[in-house]
Structure 1
Amino acid sequence: QLLPIATEQLQWMPYLNPKLHIPVIKFIYWSIRQLDTDVQQQATMRSTMRRLGEDIFKGIVSKGNPHSSSEQSTESKSKSVAFFKSFCMPLRFLSTLIVLKTVKQVDYLAQAFESLRVDLKTDEGKALFLEYQCVPVVLSHLKVSNASLLSSALDGLLQMAMESDSLQPFLEACSNESFFRTCSVLLRSSKLDIAVLEKLCVILQKLSRMKSNKKMFELFGLHQMFQELRRTINPDHTFLCINLNSILLNLELLSSNSL
C-alpha cells in the first residue's frame, strides 16, 4: 500500500536533503522485494512498478516547486536528482537493483547489468551485493528466453565469484534449491551457447568445492549433465573442459588418474 505513495514522493526528491535519498530508495527496494512471493500483488502493481523503474532509471528533473514563492521559483526552477546514474555508489547500486526488478525494456536492463558488473569490481560493490541479498534479483533474469541478457546477468555473478572476502558468503547465498534449479533449467537447454556455459560452469565449479552442495548437484541432476557434457564437449574448449573436470573431481565422480 505504501509503494505507490513512495513512488509519488520521488517527484519531490530534488527538494529533499540528499542524505534522505538513500533511506527512501532503500525503503522502495525492500518494499519491492516483499512482493517477490506475492504474484497477485505484483500484477496489481504493474503500472506503478513500471513508472517507478523508469523514474529511477532516468532520474527526476523538477521544473520548480509549486509551493515556493515567486522570489524562490527562479532559484528552484530546474532541480534534479539522479538515481541510476548517481555518482554515489550506494544510491546507484540500489537504483540499479530497482531497475532490474521493475523494468522490462531490454536496453534499460542491459545498462543496469553493465552498471552492476562495473560496481561489482569493487569491494564496496561486492559488500552491497551481499547486504541487499541480490542473488534472487539476478536469478530472475537467468532464463534462456532472455538470450540477450543472459550473458550480462552472469557477468555480475562472475564478479562475485572472484577471490575476495565476499566469495564465501556469496557462495552460501547461492547454495539453495532456487539457484540450482535455475542452473539445471539452463543446462538442459540446447540453445545455450558456449560462452554462457563457460560462465555458468565457473560459478558452479566454485559451488562444487563446498561439500554440502553435493546433494544439490545430485538433486537437480547436474552431476549427470556434467558427465555427459564432458563426454561430448569439443576438447578445443579448453577452459570449459578444465572446469567440467574440476566439478566432477569435487563431486568425487572423477579420479585424478582419469584426467
Structure 2
Amino acid sequence: MALNNTYDARLVQQETAVGAGVQILLLALLGTAIGMGPAGWLTGLAFAVASWAVLSRALHRSRLRSFGPANRVTLGRATLVGGVTALVADSFESSPPVTLFVGLTAIALILDGVDGKVARATGTSTPLGARFDMEVDAFLILVLSVYVSMEFGPWVLMIGGMRYAFVAAARAYPWLNAELPPSMARKTVAAMQGICLLLAASGYLPRGMSLGVVLLALGSLIWSFGRDVLWLRRTSRIQDAEVEEILGLAAEPQTVAS
C-alpha cells in the first residue's frame, strides 16, 4: 500500500467537507433544473450529512491522511448516488426527467468499474476503500429498488434489501462473517442488479420486458446469495468438526509406557 499514513485531522475534515459541499452543489443544480420539491431536498441533504458523518468517522478510525485517488472516484460516485436518491424521493411528488435520472444513474454505474482500476494502478487499495465502494453500490441498488417498486410492487425491494438482510443475519450467525473465495459469478450478478433496475426504471422497455428483467435480477441475486450462504455454512461445520476433533484428542488420557 503506497499511501502516506501520517494522520492530520484537518486533512480528514477537508476530504469529507469537499464531498458534502459537492453534494449540496449537485442538489442545487438539480433543484434549479427540475424545481425539486421538499422531499427531494430533505432526502438529498440527509444523504449529504450522513455521508459526511460516516466518512469522517471512517477516516478518523483508519488514521489515513486521505482517501487516495481511487476513493476520490468513489466519493464522486457517492455524490451522484446522492443526486439519484434525491430524484427518487422527489418522484413521490412528481416524476423526474427520465434523461436526467438515467444519465446520473448510468454514470454512477460506469464509475463503479473505474475506482478499482485506479486503486490497482496507483497502489492505493485499502480496506476502507473496498468497504466504501461496497456501501455505495449497495445503497444505489436499494434506491433503484425503491423507484422500481413503485411500478411493480414491494417485492422488488428484496433486491435492494437482500444485502442488508445478510448483514443483519451475520450479527446473529457469526459464521456468515467468514471471508468468501473470489467469484466471477458473484461479481457478474452484483453488476447485473444496477443495470437491470436502471433498464426497468428508464421506461425504455415494454412493461412486460421490464418485469422480466427485474425478475431475472432478483432470481440471479437469490441464487448468488444462496450459494454463498451454503458455502459459508458448510465451511463453518467443517471447521467446527475439526475443532471438536482436536479438543477430543486433547481430552483423551495419555498412555504412559511402563
* TM-score (structure 2 length as normaliser): 0.30
The structure with more helix, counted as a fraction of residues:
2
More RCO (CA 8 Å, sep 6+): 2
* TM-score (structure 1 length as normaliser): 0.30
